[in-house]
Amino acid sequence: MLGIRYPMFQGGMAWIADGRLAAAVSEGGGLGIIAAGNAPAEYVREQVRIAKALTNKPVGVNIMLMSPYACEVAAAVIEEKVDVVTTGAGNPSAYMKDWKAANIKVIPVVASVAMAKLMTRLGASALIAEGGESGGHVGELTTMVLVPQVRDATDLPVIAAGGIADGRGVAAAFMLGAEGVQLGTRFLSAYECTVLQNYKDKILKATDLCTMVTGKRLGHPVRSLRTKFAQNYSRAEYGGMPDDELEGLAVGALRLAVKEGDLEKGCFLAGQIAAMVKKEQPAAEIIKEIMDEAEPILKGAVRWVE
Q: CB under 8 Å to 108, separation ≥6 — which residues?
A: 86, 87, 88, 92, 115, 119, 124, 127, 128
* Cα 226 from Cα 211, distance rounded (Å): 5
Rg of the chain (C-alpha set) = 18
Q: In whole angstroms, what is the distance from residue 109 CA to residue 128 CA?
A: 5
Which of 29, 40, 58, 90 touches ligand TUI (CB under 6 A)? 90
Rule CB under 6 A: choose which of 5, 117, 217, 220 binds ligand TUI.
Answer: 220
Among 109, 124, 153, 230, binds ligand TUI (CB under 6 A): 109
Q: Distance (Å, rounded) from C-alpha 283 to C-alpha 22? A: 9
Q: Which helix (H) or strand (E) holds 227?
A: none
Q: Identify which of residues 6 and 268 has a Cβ nearer to ligand TUI in the complex.
A: 268
CB 9 within 8 A of CB 183: yes
265 binds ligand TUI (CB under 6 A): no
Task: With CB under 6 A as the rule, give the number of residues binding ligand TUI.
Answer: 18
Yes or no: say if 197 and 203 are a contact pair by the CB < 8 Å rule.
no
Stretch that binds ligand TUI, among 88-96, 99-107, 199-207, 270-278 (CB under 6 A): 88-96
Site for ligand TUI in 25-44 (CB under 6 A): 37
Residues in contact with ligand TUI, shown as a per-residue x/- string from 146 to 185 under the rule CB under 6 A: ----------------------------------------
Contact between 84 and ligand TUI per CB under 6 A:
no
Q: In terms of CB distance, is 210 or 250 closer to ligand TUI?
A: 250
Q: How many residues does the structure list for the chain?
A: 306
Residue selected from 18, 27, 130, 166 as contacting ligand TUI according to rule CB under 6 A: 130
> Applying CB under 6 A, which of residues 7, 32, 136, 157 lies at the interface with ligand TUI?
136
Q: Which of 195, 167, 141 is nearest to 273 (CA)?
A: 167
Query: What span, in angstroms and rounded, lies between the C-alpha atoms of 306 and 302?
Result: 11
Q: Cβ of 289: how many Cβ atoms within 10 Å?
A: 14
Applying CB under 6 A, the span of 22-30, 73-81, 133-141, 163-171 interacting with ligand TUI comes to 133-141
Binding site for ligand TUI (CB under 6 A): 14, 37, 64, 66, 88-91, 109, 111, 115, 130, 136-137, 139, 220, 222, 269
